Amino acid sequence: GDGYRRQCQLRDLGVESIDVDPRCTVADPTLFSHRRDAPTGRFASLVWME
């Protein structure tokens, strides 16, 4: 799908390490989902380069 294509693009740009969380925010009740829950919540991503 789209995620695989994005990972290929990142690798083409020189990104050597890509970690993807396979959990689904809709299916996993321990994660907030805007689609499943109320319109408030927090979501964060962490990106860094060394």
Distance (Å, whole) CA 10 – CA 43: 22
Query: Would 46 be classed as within a structural domain?
Result: no
Instruction: Say what the pLDDT of residue 40 is.
Output: 67
Burial 32-50 (b: 16+ CB within 10 A, else e): eeeeeeeeeeeeeeeeeee
pLDDT-derived band at 11, boundaries 50, 70, 90: very high
Q: Mean per-residue pLDDT for 14-25? A: 88
11 in Cβ contact with 18 (< 8 Å): yes
Higher pLDDT, 1 or 14: 14
Flag whether 47 is in a domain: no
pTM equals 0.48
- What integer is the mean pLDDT of 6-26? 89
Domain containing residue 11: 1-35
User: By C-alpha distance, which of 16, 24, 18 is closest to 4?
Assistant: 18
The answer to the question of residue 50 being in a domain is: no
